[in-house]
């Protein structure tokens, strides 16, 4: 698990992304555990970038509004972060 919880959450969620090529040649992407996180792009790369941006915004809004976010790869953003004392470092 990454030391940076938000980075780890985002990266792990993106590993679960599903992409489709649409009839007109554009792409759509979604992250199934993250309801409503969907993006579109003219290229796969553009779609990936848009999906990352959408996911980041979704997480930040969810945290601000106190929504329950899915636990992804062991990352639970619903709990207050624990702080290690300086003596344990």
User: How many domains is the chain partitioned into structurally?
Assistant: 1
Whether residue 48 is contained in a domain is answered as: yes
The per-residue pLDDT for range 40-68, each reduced to its tens digit, is: 999 999 999 999 999 999 999 999 999 99
Residue 67 DSSP one-character state: P
Whether residue 49 is contained in a domain is answered as: yes
Whether residue 34 is contained in a domain is answered as: yes
The two tokens of residue 74 are 């062991």
Alpha carbon distance 13, 19 (integer Å)? 13
pLDDT for the residue numbered 14: 98
Alpha carbon distance 20, 9 (integer Å)? 23
Whether residue 84 is contained in a domain is answered as: no
- For residue 19, the enclosing domain spans 5-67
Query: Domain of 44: which CATH number?
Result: 3.30.160.250
Whether residue 72 is contained in a domain is answered as: no
Q: Which residues contact 32 (CB under 8 A, 6 or more apart)?
A: 16, 18
**If pLDDT is split at 50, 70 and 90, which confidence band does 83 have?**
low
Long-range contacts: 28-33, Cβ < 8 Å, 24+? 31/55, 33/70, 33/72
């Amino acid at each position: 698990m990454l030391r940076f919880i938000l980075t780890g959450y985002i990266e792990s969620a993106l590993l679960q992304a599903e992409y489709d090529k649409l009839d007109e040649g554009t792409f759509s992407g979604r992250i199934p555990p993250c309801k409503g996180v969907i993006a579109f792009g003219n290229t796969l790369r553009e779609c990936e970038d848009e999906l990352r941006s959408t996911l980041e915004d979704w997480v930040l809004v969810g945290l601000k509004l106190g929504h329950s976010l899915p636990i992804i790869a062991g990352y639970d953003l619903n709990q207050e972060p624990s702080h290690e004392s300086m003596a344990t470092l």
